[in-house]
Amino acid sequence: MAEPTVRNPTRGVRVGSVTIGGGHPIVVQSMCATKTADVAATVAQANALAEAGAGVVRIAVDTFRDVTALAAIRQQTRANLSVDLQEDYRLAADVAPWVDKVRYNPGHLHHRERNRPWQDKVRFLADVAVRHDCALRVGVNCGSVDPAIRKKFPAEDSIGPMLASALEHCDLLEGLGFLRYCVSLKDSDPAKVVEANVRFAGQRPEVPLHLGVTEAGMPPEGIRKTRIALEPLLARGVGDTIRVSLTVPNARKHEEVQAGRQILADVAAGRLLGDVETGRNGLNIISCPSCSRVENEAFVELAHRVRDLTAYAAHFPITIAVMGCRVNGPGETDEADLGLWCGPKHVNLKRGSATLGAFGYEEVLARLKAELDALIAAKGWKVP
Ligand code: SF4
């Protein structure tokens, strides 16, 4: 029988009816991928996720139309709701009355009121959270780190900036006397997720951590990547809440929660993947889980078609990123060998950080294959 894991001594952060950290059971989270303004669809998905075991359900809010919908959604579900703010931090004041937690990304605060110091914006968010009995999540993401911090580190160091950003926000929030927050440090590379979270927990063991691999992709590979990151962290007592991000159609979104619960059960029982390769020796497809912001509902199908189309290159160490919208698409495809990010009618194709053009949803697949063939040929590799 496995030894019970001694969890990090984090403080408890209440989110509606659950508490993250403080020795409470690890909370599984998920996120709605419906259009937030579609109240009926979003309520149905929030309820389905909660019934599958999601302790917190996140919803993306970008417009006042979404805010209005959120008020109606709140009346129709008992799920603990978290809202995901991206570019407009000021929406927090309008959404906080309807949710239990607000997630902000430090790397997106500069998008609005560029001359206002980020510290003022965080003070505003903490005030809003206190007024409306909400928790906060400081959600740092590898592809969208605050540019002011990014430039202080060498280009090859992707973990240092994430860590510095998280730590400076912890310092500020605590200086303001605001302790009801958790932190996430996400990357699409499981090894980086492990390193970033171990380093953070070493410095701030009292802060509850939300664990996840961003753009883990389609199952089963997306679940495997997530396990590679989460197992060693959970086994050493790091992590108070988790999300498994999967690129699946809306009707299968509950699989994120099932996968999360299975990982927790397996870690508790000592059933670990063990010493596995991280996938970096072969073709690595990263794709976002989609959300309300997805530009075209064909995105999930596109991601699956990219996987099928590129199967012949499975043995080559190439990364292809497929992203659903412009919020994270341009940044998160920069590091990939080939990247696709969706617009309403076109898909933007990239080679590294260079844009190759925008193509129709059908047309882009042939262009992608041509680029992949050229990349393989340039390396002198032979397709078996
Ligand atoms: S890339 Fe866009 S559509 Fe995909 S999860 Fe992120 S915000 Fe949502």
- In which band, very low, low, confident or very high, does the pLDDT at 3 lie, cut at 50, 70 and 90? low
Report how far residue 347's alpha carbon sits from residue 303's, in angstroms, rounded to the nearest whole number.
11
- In which band, very low, low, confident or very high, does the pLDDT at 123 lie, cut at 50, 70 and 90? very high
Q: Whose CA is nearest to atom 6 of ligand 1?
A: 328
Q: Whose CA is nearest to atom 5 of ligand 1?
A: 290
Q: What is the pLDDT of residue 86?
A: 79
Q: What is the pLDDT of residue 279?
A: 46
SS3 293: coil
- In which band, very low, low, confident or very high, does the pLDDT at 87 lie, cut at 50, 70 and 90? confident
> Does the pLDDT of residue 2 top 60, yes or no?
no
Q: What is the pLDDT of residue 288?
A: 95
- Using the mean position of ligand 1's atoms as its centre, give its distance from the Cα of residue 354 in Å: 20
- Averaged confidence pLDDT in the chain: 94
| Mutation to probe ligand 1, out of 103, 144, 325, 342 (largest number of atoms < 8 A from CB) | 325
Q: Model-level pTM?
A: 0.94
Q: What is the pLDDT of residue 262?
A: 97
Phi, psi of 84 (to 5 degrees): -105, 110
Q: What is the pLDDT of residues 242-286, one digit of tens each?
A: 999 999 999 999 999 999 999 999 999 988 876 454 445 799 999
Helix, strand, coil share of the chain (percent; to 5): 45, 20, 40
Report how far residue 365's alpha carbon sits from residue 370's, in angstroms, rounded to the nearest whole number.
9
- In which band, very low, low, confident or very high, does the pLDDT at 1 lie, cut at 50, 70 and 90? very low
Determine the average pLDDT of the residues in 353-375.
96
